Structures are given as structure tokens and as C-alpha cells.
Amino acid sequence: MPIMPSVDNAATDTGNGHTVCVTGAGGFIASWIVKLLLEKGYTVKGTVRNPDDPKNAHLRELEGAKERLKLCRADLQNFDSLKSAINGCLGVFHTASPISDDPEQMLEPAINGTKNVILAVAEAKVRRMVFTSSIGAVYMDPNRSPDKVVDETCWSDLDYCKNTKNWYCYGKTVAEQVAWETAKELGVDLVVVNPVMVLGPLLQPSVNLSIIHILKYLNGSTKTYANATQVYVHVRDVALAHILVYENPLANGRYICAESALHRGQVCDILAKFFPEYPIPTKCSDEVNPRAEPYKFSNQKVKDLGLEFTGVRQCLYETVKCLQDKGHLPILVQPQEN
């Protein structure tokens, strides 16, 4: 039996009209942060490149958006535009970042953009800034023992990222390091969330890269799955983690946001049980080597703030249902049992 859709658990009114800024408000995680902030009573200034772009229309349709959401034109490379958006805000959620393995597209916007946001935060005397980093800034270390538990003290090895041309992880690591250095220098109260692979229902109209990771197993574009593992988390939980670390005065440092680790074969098995009508791969692309084992991780720090994670099976189910509802995946007739 399919898992029933879960009830949104973040709809309490605690914002009291306080104004906060969310950079890159139209993105996957950011849209959910805006949604939950509005539901909690906050007034939100969301930065986007073009407020009139139809791809941002979903933000205006959120509950409370008409009364308490303002979309501001801003660019990470333009300090004055960021300063204008951030002025008057008690808090800032900096989620805007390029996602690319092209060093030119990834490094300068991620690093300089983060520095510009913190400079604007310092000038505006913002109470607290929450920065969306990534597990990519945490776990990329070839010298880590397989028995080592990945936690908030771990950092990715920059030389390893550079040598393997993993510019996304390199950029996220350097951007977070710059964030900590700049925040310390300017006296900014900074807290960081490090999510793993984020899945769940889309609010925006387009399909982002993490969702394509699942879509490719359903639409026939890939015939096998890789001999690899991935750690997953629900987008609603990531958004709620951002708000928890913002609202809790004792929150500090980094917070890994992760629910479950699965082999790609396990992902395909779960998808096939829920949605057997799709051509989901049944074979691994690597039948020679032993099955890859996931790294061990700790999510206890964010759980101590009260976050209760959505199970990965529920997360996968909601992801596919959303793809169907938004027309990214055809609704097929399930095969009849004999």
C-alpha cells in the first residue's frame, strides 16, 4: 500500500511579523523555507534575479504571500542589490548558490556571493544568518577511515576535490570556509546547515538536479543503476532545519541534515514496489565489484533541536507523486496482478 501524504508539521505561528530575507528564493530548498516561514507568520523578502519571471510565480501563490512576501531583484555578484534586500531584516537565510561542475560557473559566484551576503548582513546588523552549505563540504576525504562517523567536525579535502575535478564540492567547501572566516571577522552570528541529497515535492515548476536523480530511474533514460550509495533527506525537513537553527538561540556551528543512506539498487527496489508501471532498472552497471557500502554519519545534532525526519520511503513516494502531478512524469496504468 502506498504511504499516505504526510501532514505539514511546521504551521505554527511564531514569526510575529518579523522580517527575514531568503536569497535565491525560487530554488528547491529556498521555496520550502519561504513556505514554512510564511506559515509561521514571518514577513519574507525573497531575492530572485527577476521578480517578474514566470518561474517565480509559485512563490506568490503560497499561503500568506500576498500579505507578507516581497520579491526583490538581486544578484550575488551585486553587493548593492543584496544590501537593499537585506536592510531591515532580523534574519537572513542564504540559500542561493550555483550548482555546477564547471569551475567558472561554480567558484566565483559561490565564494564571492557568500562574502557579499555576509558583508550586507553585517552592515544591516542582522540578528542571525543561516547559510545553506552541503554535505559536499563535509564528507569528501579519501583518508577517512570507513569506520569513521561523518559528523559536523569533518571537512572535505580540497586537494582531493580539485584533483578529481569535483568543483561542486570544492566550491561548497571553500564557500563555507569563507563564510566562517568572514562572519568571525565581522562579528556575524552564523549557523550552517549541511544537507545531503534532497528529495521531496517540488514547489517550483522546473525539475532540479537532485530530482532528476530519481526521475531518470522512472522515465527509461537509464537502463541500469550504479554501484554507489547516497544519503537522502526530505526537502521539508531541510527547510524546517533552517528555521529551527534560526529560532533557537543556542544553535551554533554546523548541522548535518540527513535521514537515510541507500544503495542505488535499494532506491530502485523501493520505487519499483510503489510504482511497478515504470521501467525501473533491475540491474547494476557494475556486476564485478562488491556492492558499495555507505559512509556512516551522525544527524544527532539537528535531532537534538527537535527535528523529526521523514522516512526515505515516504520521501521517494512523495517525490514521484509530485512529478506525476506536475506533468514531469506520465501517469501509467499499473500492471494487473495475476
Q: Which residues belong to the active site?
A: 172
* C-alpha cell at position 205: 515548476
Axis crossing angle, helix 264-274 with helix 312-325, rounded to the nearest 10: 60
Compute CA distances 282 → 1, 25, 270, 286, whole Å: 21, 38, 11, 12
Q: How far apart are CA 307 and CA 74, in angstroms?
A: 31
Give phi and psi for 23, each to the nearest 5. Answer: -80, 150
- Measure the CA–CA gap between 15 and 165, rounded to whole angstroms: 42
Residue 265, classed as helix, strand or coil, is helix
Are residues 262 and 228 in contact, defined by beta-carbon separation less than 8 angstroms? no
Residue 261 in grid coordinates:
543512506
Helices 264-274 + 209-218 axis angle, to 10: 60
How would you label 49-87 residue by residue, b for 16+ Cβ within 10 Å and e otherwise? Answer: eebeeeebebbeebebbeebbebbebbbeebebbbbbbe
Residue showing cell 562488491? 290
Whose cell is 537553527? That residue is 245
Beta bridge partners of 72: 47
